[in-house]
């Protein structure tokens, strides 16, 4: 969800005002996704690298996160949205983690859509944590080296039951993955937009989904009747 700071700077506002405005986009996009039958939505809210930002900004972001969890609970419940956190959640301030766990518990019965907030998250860190768990199990004699395969690593990621993303949207003209879902995104489609996150709403999501719907996903295969396939005889 990039562009909050640039959105604020363009209007001569403080950076935190941009993050605050971005919450409106989160609400609109999440509600639209639930209405349109999307079953899983993951928002990259705070990366492990974001801890190195100025402490004033970090504290402000944590306040916004806690307030978001408090104020948006009724919206989540009204739309049947289950909320979960992924990442090194133990790094969050105690009161924020407590609020997150509370909302997770209160929405656990919701089945329309699962909203995951990536918090203190990093794709490399997720893989490292999975490998550490495998190493511990191997050291304890509970796992043989030959048992370590793709399935073994995937089952030890933060949320093993989370399906790989079909579509990853990058806002604010960013053209990189930024350490997001590195393992899970191996066959994801990408959509790039110049729109800054505080301006990204359901109409922008709809455009991204329409672009995705026009693509052919091959997953390394040659599909039958595929006009892009090169046939040799």
Q: Catalytic residues, which ones?
A: 2, 50
Token couple for 45: 């809210």
100 close to 15: Cβ distance less than 8 angstroms: no
DSSP 8-class letter at 228: T
Question: How would you list the strands of the sheet with 81-86, edge to edge?
Answer: 40-47, 113-121, 81-86
Q: Which of 118, 23, 6, 98 is nearest to 64 (CA)?
A: 23
Helix (H) or strand (E) holding 195: none
d(CA 159, CA 226): 35
DSSP 8-class letter at 77: H
Helix, strand or coil, per DSSP, at residue 13: coil
- Please, is 171 exposed, middle or buried when counting C-beta atoms within 10 Å of its C-beta (0-12, 13-18, 19+)? buried
């Amino acid at each position: 969800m990039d562009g909050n700071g640039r959105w604020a700077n363009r209007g001569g506002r403080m950076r935190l005002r941009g993050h605050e405005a971005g919450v409106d986009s989160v609400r609109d996009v999440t509600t639209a996704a639930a209405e349109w039958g999307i079953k899983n939505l993951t928002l990259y809210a705070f990366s492990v690298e974001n801890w190195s930002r100025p402490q004033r900004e970090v504290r402000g972001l944590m306040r916004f996160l806690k307030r978001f969890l408090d104020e948006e609970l009724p919206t989540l419940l009204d739309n049947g949205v289950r909320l979960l956190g992924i990442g090194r959640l133990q790094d969050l301030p105690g009161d924020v983690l407590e609020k997150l766990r509370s909302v997770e518990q209160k929405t656990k019965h919701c089945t329309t859509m699962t909203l995951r907030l990536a918090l203190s998250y990093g794709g490399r860190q997720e893989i490292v944590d999975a490998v550490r768990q495998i190493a511990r199990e191997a050291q304890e004699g509970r796992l043989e080296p030959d048992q370590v395969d793709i399935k073994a690593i995937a089952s030890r990621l933060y949320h093993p039951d989370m399906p790989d993303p079909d579509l990853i949207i990058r806002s604010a003209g960013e053209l990189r993955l930024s350490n997001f879902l590195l393992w899970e995104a191996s066959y994801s489609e990408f959509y790039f937009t110049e729109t800054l996150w505080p301006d990204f709403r359901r109409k922008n999501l709809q455009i991204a989904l329409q672009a995705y719907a026009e693509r052919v996903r091959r997953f390394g295969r040659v599909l039958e009747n595929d006009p892009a396939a090169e046939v040799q005889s």
